[in-house]
A and B are shown apart, each in its own frame.
Chain A
Amino acid sequence: MDNSEGYLIELHGIVKRFPGVVANDGIDLRVRRGEIHCLLGENGAGKTTLMRVLYGLYRPDEGEIILNGQPVQMTSPRAALNHRVGMVHQHFRLVPTLSVEENIVLGLDEGTGPFLNFRKTRERIAAIANQFGLSVDPQAKVWQLTVGQQQRVEILKVLYREADILIMDEPTSVLTPQEVDQLFTTLRTLVDDGLTIIFITHKLDEVMRVSNRVTVLRQGKVVATLLTAETDKPALARLMVGREVVFRLKKSPIEQIEQREKLLEVNDLHALNDRGLPALRGVSFDLFAGEILGVAGISGNGQSELAEVLTGLRKSTKGRVFLAKKEITNCSAREITELNVAHIPEERIRMGIVPALSIRENLILKKYRCPPFSHWEFLKNKEVQENAQCAMSDYQIAAPSCETPAKLLSGGNIQRMILARELSENPNLIVAVHPTYGLDIGATEQVRQILLAQRKRGVATLLISEDLEEIITLSDRILVLFNGEVMGILDAESADIEEIGLMMAGTWHKREEL
């Protein structure tokens, strides 16, 4: 009935049900050839589900997919790739122990007979990488790469398979501002080269910056499809959440730093990364009670190692760390936990929770040895139970019961559970790494409010984040890391984004009295 001319992809009335939820409820989506089309919506709005239907990972319960005016059956990702549709997932699908080139050819019929021929592969990878500015060492093992580099590998993988429709699922959630810029440049180049890109996001800035058109989803339905040029952020925000969103958080002013207790003192800290190369080269800073110190930097410049050294998960090779004047250099994770240091880990599912265990048990992960949760060798079920019920109501962890395995929780609920656990002992110091990564607006706001409430209580917080807006919003001071060195520490009130950007790229800030 429609004139499908100009539309490369048409999804008609897509319905996808999961037990208990309708993830996609009759979605119509039309994407023009050669555009960047944003799919905007909160977590759980059905964006990823819809794209998994298009990519052949899910079979829709109803509805049809039309490519180039022809109805197609997307029965598997392989079928999707045959139709030249490729997808870069939010959580990467790479084999960490294999090299970049091995990952790229994985599943392809390269070489002759049973033998792989990497010479041609290498040349092609290099050609594609050069053309689109996706430089990465093809022989590096994937586990050694930063998240940003891994994403490049994922894009290369899709391009190597000659896809001309590229689905990007929340690609910026792991990137630094510079990497985001780089990614956007890459995406532009790709579009200029004739590709069509569907870009899933819940960040309004990105929609405005990168897209030609935007489709807003809410609760499994399309709310609107708009030309980006004809709309603005507040309008999109209203469409997306159905209510007004506060962009700025109110911070209570902090007292003069001189009057505050110096809680954490880091002196000339050195440490190696997983590859045995220097990751921290003489990091020094002080952190005061009641202060949030934001650590900005491009991913892989020592932030993860800094958090790990401070929480006892990695040994430093030189330098000293003092917590409330007590030396904690190279103490074990347990010793540091017992000094009331909270750690909100970088990869919350990999490290922060035990997916198969219940919420109840996850909530005592760090304090199962202490009263009241255990007596001698035995765990005390009643106390563990009560603790879980308090935490679930205090932190609004939505789950059928505290017996529910943690793996069944949504990202926001998992993070609330981790916060409940880490903050329950009224910590002195919080080391928070990417605390709102991948969370929807509601959960993000809540996590930030919780951190600000802790700050008001006088807690010192080291906030490591790659979301610069988050750092500027929450921090009192901002420390910029580059190549394992402190480029400078700025006052957040007067900080200039341009300057932070330059420092993140390796420009020294005029050294000031810290």
Chain B
Amino acid sequence: MKRLVSFKVERRPVASGRVVFFVSLLAIFAALMVAGIFFQIYGVSPIRAYQLILRGSLGSRFGLTETVRRAIPLLLCGVGLTVAFRALFWNIGAEGQLLLGAVAAAGVALFTGLPDQLLLPAMFIGGFIGGAAWGLIPAILKVKLGVNDVITTLMMNYIAIYIVEWLIHGPWKGPSMRGFAYTDTFPRAAWLPTIYGTRIHWPTLVLGLVLAALMYILVTRTRSGFEIRVIGENPDAARFAGINPLKTTLLVMLISGGFAGLAGVGEVAGIHQRLLGPSHISMGYGYTAIIVAWLARRNPLAVIVTSFLFGVIMTGGDVIRVSLGLPFQLINVFNGLILFFLIGSEILLRYRISFLLRR
């Protein structure tokens, strides 16, 4: 009773869009504060580090284009993940689905001998199928046998990584690569066009933006979207309403895995023009996309913004390595902190804290 300030915690009926926005900003801010401690440990002023990151990723033409390039796979994976997360399917496997998409695209580019005009479309279709197939396995296991989706999707990532490693060291190793673990370079017709002077493979970017809009419509306006939301919010009510969980789960994982596969196509056809080591293809886009989707509060349109934001952060990783000589992995610490504070801040969406001044 002697405290000057006391506070009261109350249940919040529904969090408005504004509240969600500010709470998300607060989470990012908190992550910035804590990440600052790590910069301090390396003897770098956090403010200077953040200035450099912002300048490096947004302040120059090169930085900006790198940011957009990084945002492309995050956008595609993130949009797919929002759909899976809406149905409460915890797809942690976008990384592996992306890699399988890359493998499928590489296979089409190198070995089918399709006519030039058909090659890129066939690579995108193949990549979609590759990623989707990788996503459908855990979906079937979950619905048919009740196997935990988090574990299967996560484990499938490792299988995907080793498949890529095996291919580039073994059967697909390029004879013209003189011992390097790459496939041969794709034929010219399998290269995605880029915006002049940048590495932005714009067809993939356009595809990502279109799919974000389509998924928004799917989730909010269609029967399938309604089924996805009902299953995600209350599986018992879904059963009661006669919604088929197998069909819906397969659909969301077809989308989620397929989109990650498309991201893989973009990386190999747009950046590297060959299949190479898994860590070079992806840099953890599939994992970062989980945070992207979550920060977007599972709204496919908002992923456009959050994927760009994480593009900034990933480009910032290059900046701190080049300009400050710090390890790139600091960015992973930062990503982890953002997810940590985001999940922690969920409580603020459900409860309202009000402070009372006492005399």
A residues at B contact (CB < 8 Å): 18-19, 312-313, 332-337, 343, 345, 350-357, 361, 364-366, 368-369, 374, 377-379, 381, 405, 408
Cross-interface CB contact of B233 among A19, A334, A355, A377, cutoff 8 Å? A355
Which residues of B lie under 8 Å from residue A343 when comparing CB positions?
240
Which residues of B lie under 8 Å from residue A334 when comparing CB positions?
241-244
Which residues of A lie under 8 Å from residue B240 when comparing CB positions?
313, 333, 343, 345, 351-352, 365
Q: A-B pairs with the 5 shortest C-beta distances? A: A334-B242, A333-B242, A356-B233, A354-B234, A351-B236
Interface residues of B in 203-262 (CB under 8 A from A): 221-224, 226, 229-230, 233-234, 236-237, 239-244
Q: How far is the CB of B225 from chain A (nearest CB, A)?
A: 8
A–B pairs, 5, beta carbons within 8 Å: A18-B10, A333-B239, A353-B234, A357-B229, A379-B221
Q: Please, which residue of chain B has its CB at the minimum distance from the CB of A408?
A: B13
B145 contacts A by Cβ under 8 Å: no
Which residues of A lie under 8 Å from residue B357 when comparing CB positions?
none
Beyond A350-B234, A354-B229, A379-B226, 6 extra complex contacts between A and B, CB < 8 Å: A333-B239, A334-B242, A351-B239, A354-B233, A361-B229, A408-B13
Q: Please, which residue of chain B has its CB at the minimum distance from the CB of A312?
A: B242
Q: What separation, in Å, do the CA atoms of A368 and B237 have in the docked complex?
A: 14
| Contact A405/B242 with A354-B230, A355-B233, A365-B230 known, Cβ cut-off 8 Å | no
| Contact A357/B233 with A368-B226, A369-B223 known, Cβ cut-off 8 Å | yes
Which residues of A lie under 8 Å from residue B244 when comparing CB positions?
334
Q: How far is the CB of B45 from chain A (nearest CB, A)?
A: 44
Q: How far is the CB of B274 from chain A (nearest CB, A)?
A: 39
| Contact A361/B242 with A351-B236, A355-B233, A408-B14 known, Cβ cut-off 8 Å | no
Q: What separation, in Å, do the CA atoms of A470 and B62 have in the docked complex?
A: 75
Q: Please, which residue of chain B has its CB at the minimum distance from the CB of A361?
A: B226
Which residues of A lie under 8 Å from residue B243 when comparing CB positions?
334
Q: Please, which residue of chain A has its CB at the minimum distance from the CB of B243?
A: A334
Question: Would you call A377 and B223 a contact (CB within 8 A)?
Answer: yes
Question: Would you call B237 and A337 a contact (CB within 8 A)?
Answer: no
- Looking at chain B's contact residues, the main secondary structure is helix
Q: Please, which residue of chain A has its CB at the minimum distance from the CB of B13?
A: A408
Q: What separation, in Å, do the CA atoms of A334 and B240 have in the docked complex?
A: 9
Interface residues of B in 304-356 (CB under 8 A from A): none
Q: What separation, in Å, do the CA atoms of A357 and B226 have in the docked complex?
A: 10
Which residues of B lie under 8 Å from residue A366 when comparing CB positions?
241-242
Q: What separation, in Å, do the CA atoms of A416 and B237 have in the docked complex?
A: 17
Question: Would you call A353 and B237 a contact (CB within 8 A)?
Answer: yes
Q: How far is the CB of B325 from chain A (nearest CB, A)?
A: 46
Q: What separation, in Å, do the CA atoms of A352 and B243 have in the docked complex?
A: 13
Q: Please, which residue of chain B has its CB at the minimum distance from the CB of A421?
A: B241
Q: What separation, in Å, do the CA atoms of A328 and B229 have in the docked complex?
A: 29
Which residues of B lie under 8 Å from residue A353 when comparing CB positions?
234, 237
Q: What separation, in Å, do the CA atoms of A280 and B236 have in the docked complex?
A: 22
Which residues of A lie under 8 Å from residue B241 when comparing CB positions?
333-334, 337, 365-366
| Contact A19/B10 with A337-B242, A369-B223, A377-B222 known, Cβ cut-off 8 Å | yes
Most chain A beta carbons < 10 A, residue from B14, B230, B241: B241
Which residues of B lie under 8 Å from residue A381 when comparing CB positions?
221
Q: How far is the CB of B76 from chain A (nearest CB, A)?
A: 22
Question: Would you call B13 and A355 a contact (CB within 8 A)?
Answer: no
Q: Please, which residue of chain A has its CB at the minimum distance from the CB of B229?
A: A357
Q: How far is the CB of A69 from chain B (nearest CB, A)?
A: 21
Q: Please, which residue of chain B has its CB at the minimum distance from the CB of A375?
A: B223
Q: How far is the CB of A430 from chain B (nearest CB, A)?
A: 15
Which residues of B lie under 8 Å from residue A374 when comparing CB positions?
223
Q: Please, which residue of chain A has its CB at the minimum distance from the CB of B236?
A: A351
Question: Would you call B222 and A379 a contact (CB within 8 A)?
Answer: yes
Q: What separation, in Å, do the CA atoms of A178 and B292 have in the docked complex?
A: 56
Q: Please, which residue of chain A has its CB at the minimum distance from the CB of B10?
A: A19
Question: Would you call A352 and B237 a contact (CB within 8 A)?
Answer: yes
| Contact A19/B13 with A333-B241, A354-B237 known, Cβ cut-off 8 Å | yes
Cross-interface CB contact of B14 among A337, A364, A368, A405, cutoff 8 Å? A405
Question: Would you call A355 and B242 a contact (CB within 8 A)?
Answer: no
Which residues of A lie under 8 Å from residue B242 when comparing CB positions?
312, 332-337, 366
Which residues of A lie under 8 Å from residue B237 when comparing CB positions?
350-354, 365
Which residues of B lie under 8 Å from residue A365 when comparing CB positions?
230, 237, 240-241
